[in-house]
């Protein structure tokens, strides 16, 4: 028998993505899946009901029908990542149901407890391990790609100058100078996009390994005189550094910043507030008309002056703190997310039924709650439950 998998309208205000798109349905149909889609789920992202129906999905008139009829529920924002209506969603979930989506389990701990109480098996996409075999399920990277691209476009749009060098009869236009701080997935995409627009681009990251990637995009890597050899964890993420390190880093970055027309900041440390790398004093040294786009705004921001979700001005410098950039390009954000989810779903299903064991790294890292327990080791630690997960997580 086919297993019913549900997709609902994303109910968080401003969220335009959808967890599954028609073009990806075929990718997991072979796993024995019956897809239920709430009417209108893909509308904001550019996918009408008719396209889902054409691919064999059943369109449901109400949200509760999808919740009640699905054994597995796919969401972009599961409870935890949906502060507005996530709790309401959780009340519609039933014991034994599986939910896959972003859930912010390292910070939304109340929601984790709630999901455990509801006896839901919650898989959190943020916790996908950064290992080669999980690369095609890595939704954080997909969304960071979109965010980096859009950040460069926003910066170009806010800049009172053009990006490329132009030689015209009316004189020569000098290219914009762009610095991208944090050369992870988003930062590298921002660098690539700014380069395509013709800017002179530099990139900076705390991880020495980022140098080669920045340079391979034709950008200059900014080297600061800092001891950063212990800056990377075994997962390839940046580690949080001490306040002395950040102070020295800000001192050295100030000179580089003062020469830029655009600064795009993307620096993040998983599960932590974003480090403040740009102070108000550093912004004041930038020329009027410069632009700073802080895509770490969601996690507090890399710039002291950033106001998440707003634009502020300081001495003629515009500081933009966008939230949820992937949702501003909902078509491709949904398409990429749907691919990641479909690959993950195929991984979790054996002969049309959910089957997993916690010995597997992908399951151990992403399964947050199961059978009434919090199972994810890091989340257990944050809740003071002891790292050792209970036995009952296999399925
Ligand atoms: P992220 O969003 O957590 O952080 C963005 C960037 O900010 C990172 O490059 C980080 O080093 C940088 N940063 C943090 N603190 C900083 C500071 N004080 N100063 C300057 N920069 C700072 O990271 P991400 O983009 O999701 O990924 C980071 C790493 O993971 C990269 O090496 C990436 O290539 C790797 N990765 C691996 C896989 C895989 O193997 N499957 C998938 C995706 C990403």
- Mean pLDDT computed over 136-162: 98
Instruction: Please give the distance, rounded to the nearest whole angstrom, from the Cα atom of residue 275 to the centre of ligand 1.
Output: 13
Model confidence, pTM: 0.93
Residues labelled as active-site residues: 130, 135, 138, 141, 237
CA–CA separation, 266 and 178 (whole Å)? 13
CA–CA separation, 98 and 388 (whole Å)? 22
Closest CA to 30 of 342, 395, 340, 357: 342
The alpha-carbon radius of gyration of the chain (Å, integer) is: 22
**pLDDT for the residue numbered 394:** 63
Residues framing ligand 1 (Cβ under 6 A): 130, 135, 138, 140-141, 144, 181-187, 205-207, 210, 236-238, 249, 266-270, 275, 277
Q: Environment class of residue 298 by beta-carbon count within 10 Å: exposed (0-12), middle (13-18) or buried (19+)? A: middle
User: Which one of 182, 229, 325 would you pick to mutate in the ligand 1 pocket, going by the greatest count of ligand atoms within 8 A of its CB?
Assistant: 182
Closest CA to 58 of 40, 74, 26, 36: 36
Token couple for 353: 């039924």
* Strand 262-265 to 220-221 pairing: unpaired
Judge contact between 94 and 116, C-beta under 8 A: no
CA–CA separation, 139 and 338 (whole Å)? 9
DSSP code per residue over 325-337? GGGGSHHHHHHHH
- CA 57, 61, 63, 66 dihedral sign is negative
- Atom 10 in ligand 1: residue holding the nearest Cα: 238
Write down the mean pLDDT value for the chain. 93
Q: Which comes out higher in pLDDT, residue 248 or 390?
A: 248
**pLDDT for the residue numbered 353:** 85
> Which atom number of ligand 1 is nearest to the Cα of residue 209?
32
Length of the chain: 395
Instruction: Please give the distance, rounded to the nearest whole angstrom, from the Cα atom of residue 348 to the centre of ligand 1.
Output: 27
Q: Environment class of residue 110 by beta-carbon count within 10 Å: exposed (0-12), middle (13-18) or buried (19+)? A: exposed
- Mean pLDDT computed over 38-53: 98
State pLDDT tens for residues 206-246.
988 899 999 999 999 998 887 666 677 766 777 778 888 88
DSSP assigned state of 225: S
State what percent of residues in the chain have pLDDT above 70: 96
**pLDDT for the residue numbered 31:** 75
**pLDDT for the residue numbered 251:** 86
- Mean pLDDT computed over 180-184: 96
- Mean pLDDT computed over 162-179: 97
Cα-based torsion angle of the residue sequence 264, 268, 273, 278 in order, rounded to the nearest 10 degrees: -40
State pLDDT tens for residues 54-65.
999 999 999 999
- Atom 7 in ligand 1: residue holding the nearest Cα: 267
């Amino acid at each position: 028998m086919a297993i019913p998998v549900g997709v609902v309208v994303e109910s968080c205000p401003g969220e335009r993505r959808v967890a599954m798109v028609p073009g990806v349905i075929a990718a997991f149909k072979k796993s024995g899946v019956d897809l239920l889609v709430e009417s209108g789920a893909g509308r904001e992202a550019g996918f009408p009901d008719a396209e889902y129906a054409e691919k064999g999905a059943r369109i449901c008139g109400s949200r509760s029908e999808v919740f009640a009829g699905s054994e597995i529920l796919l969401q972009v924002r599961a409870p935890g990542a949906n502060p507005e209506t996530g709790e309401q969603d959780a009340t519609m979930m039933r014991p034994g149901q599986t939910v896959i989506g972003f859930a912010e389990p390292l910070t939304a701990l109340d929601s984790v407890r709630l999901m455990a109480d509801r006896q839901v098996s919650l898989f959190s996409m943020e916790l996908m391990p950064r290992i080669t075999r999980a690369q095609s399920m890595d939704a954080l990277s997909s969304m960071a790609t979109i965010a980096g691209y859009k950040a460069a476009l926003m910066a170009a749009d806010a800049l009172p100058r053009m990006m490329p060098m132009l030689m015209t009869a009316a004189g020569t236009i000098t290219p914009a100078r762009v610095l991208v701080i944090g050369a992870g997935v988003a930062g590298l995409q921002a660098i690539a996009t700014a380069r395509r627009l013709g800017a002179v681009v530099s990139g900076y990251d705390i991880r020495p390994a980022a140098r080669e990637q920045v340079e391979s995009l034709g950008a200059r890597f900014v080297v600061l005189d800092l001891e950063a050899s212990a800056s990377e964890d075994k997962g390839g993420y940046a580690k949080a550094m001490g306040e002395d390190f950040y102070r020295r880093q800000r001192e050295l970055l100030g000179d580089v910043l003062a020469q830029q027309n655009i600064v795009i900041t993307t620096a993040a440390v998983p599960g932590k507030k974003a480090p403040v790398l740009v102070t108000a004093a550093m912004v004041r040294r930038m020329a009027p008309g410069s632009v700073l786009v802080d895509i770490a705004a969601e996690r507090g921001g890399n710039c002291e002056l950033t106001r998440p979700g707003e634009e502020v001005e300081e001495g003629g410098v515009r500081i933009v703190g966008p939230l949820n950039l992937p949702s501003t390009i909902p078509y491709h954000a949904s398409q990429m997310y749907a691919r990641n989810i479909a690959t993950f779903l195929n991984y979790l299903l054996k002969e049309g039924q959910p089957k997993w064991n916690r010995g597997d790294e992908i399951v151990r890292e992403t399964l947050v709650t199961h059978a009434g327990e919090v199972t994810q080791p890091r989340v257990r630690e944050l809740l003071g439950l002891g790292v050792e997960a209970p036995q009952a997580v296999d399925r």
